[in-house]
Amino acid sequence: MEYHNPVLLNECIEGLNIKPTGIYVDVTFGGGGHSALILQKLKGGKLYAFDQDEKANENDLKKEGFKLINANFRKIKNFLRMEGVKKIDGLLADLGVSSHQFDEGKRGFSIRFNGDLDMRMNTLSPLSAKEVVNKYSEEDLANVLYNYGELTNSRKIAAEIVRSRENHPITTTNELIACVSHLVPEKKKNQFLARLFQAIRIEVNDEIGALEEMLNNAVDLLDKNGRLVVLSYHSLEDRMVKNLFKKGNIEGVLEKDFFGNPNKVLKEINRKVIIASDNEIANNSRARSAKLRIAEKI
C-alpha cells in the first residue's frame, strides 16, 4: 500500500525530543513514516503505534521495540495499560485522513472519484456516510454541515439533500455532488465540496470526540518533560489543540488556582504555530493546511 510522504516529518521528530530508552506513541501510524524515523532514534526504548484502519497493518514495521495496535487512538490509555505502560515520554499525532484513503475511490473520502458513500476509517464501524446522508433529519444534517464543515448555507444544503433523497437514496459520492453542486458558484465548487465531505467524514468517524478523548488521555499519560506533538489540518482540530496548550483545556477557558496561578500542566515549546515551507508545499500539497504545535508536560 503506497502512502504519501509525511508532512513536516523532521520537525515532528525533533519536537518529540526523543530519549533513546524512552517510551513513545505514534497514534496515527498510516504508512509508518513517522514511526520508522522514531525507531531509528531508539536504543532500548519502545514505540507503540495506533491505527484503526486495518489497511495500515500492511505497513507493520515488524521491528524490535515496536508494536502496532489496530484500534482507535481514543482508547490509547486502555490499550497501553494492557501493555503494562502507565507513563510515556512522547506522543505524536498526525491528524487528518491518510493520503491512501483519499486515493482509494471506493471508500468515498474524495470528491475526485465516484464511489460508495462510506467514509469509514474503521470499515467495521456501523455508521457510514450513507446513513448520515439518507437517515439524519434535516436539522441534524444542517448542524453537522455547519459545525464540522463551517458551511454558512448549511440549512439550504441539508434541505436540498433531504429533497433529493425523497426521490431515491443517495448512495454514491457523485450522486451527493450532483444534488448540491448548483448551490455554489463554479469557482468555489471544489472548496465547497471539500468542506461538505469533511463535515460528513468527521461525523461518521466521530473525529472531534475521538480527538478530545485522545488529547486528554495523552496529557494524563505523559511523564514529566514528556512531549505532545500534534499536526492538524483544519481549524476545528487546531483550535482544540491550541486551547489545550495555551489554556490547559479543550474548551479554552483558563482556570486558576487559589493563588491566581494558571492551572496548566503543559508548556508550549513553539508559541507560534509551525507551518510547512514553500518548497515542501510545492512537493506535497497536503502540507498547505498543516499546522504543527508542540508542548511539554510540566
* Structure letter (DSSP) for residue 262: B
For 54-155, strand residue ranges (E) read 66-69, 88-94
**pLDDT computed for residue 102 by the predictor:** 59
**pLDDT computed for residue 230 by the predictor:** 98
List 65's β-bridge partners, or say none: none
The structural domain count of the chain equals 2
Which structural domain, as residue segments, surrounds residue 164?
105-205
Side-chain-side CA neighbours of 131 within 13 Å: the count stands at 9
Residues 73 and 39 in one domain: yes
**pLDDT computed for residue 103 by the predictor:** 60
**pLDDT computed for residue 108 by the predictor:** 86
pLDDT digits (tens, 9 = 90+) for 121-130: 988 899 999 9
**pLDDT computed for residue 1 by the predictor:** 47
**pLDDT computed for residue 100 by the predictor:** 57
CATH number at residue 37: 3.40.50.150
CATH number at residue 169: 1.10.150.170
d(CA 49, CA 67): 6
Residues 114 and 200 in one domain: yes
Mean pLDDT by 10 residues, the chain (298 residues): 75 98 96 94 97 86 94 96 98 80 73 92 93 98 97 97 97 96 90 95 96 97 98 95 95 88 92 95 91 97
pLDDT digits (tens, 9 = 90+) for 95-138: 977 655 656 667 888 888 899 999 999 888 999 999 999 999 99
Q: Whole-prediction pTM value?
A: 0.92
Residues 14 and 135 in one domain: no
**pLDDT computed for residue 101 by the predictor:** 60
**pLDDT computed for residue 116 by the predictor:** 94
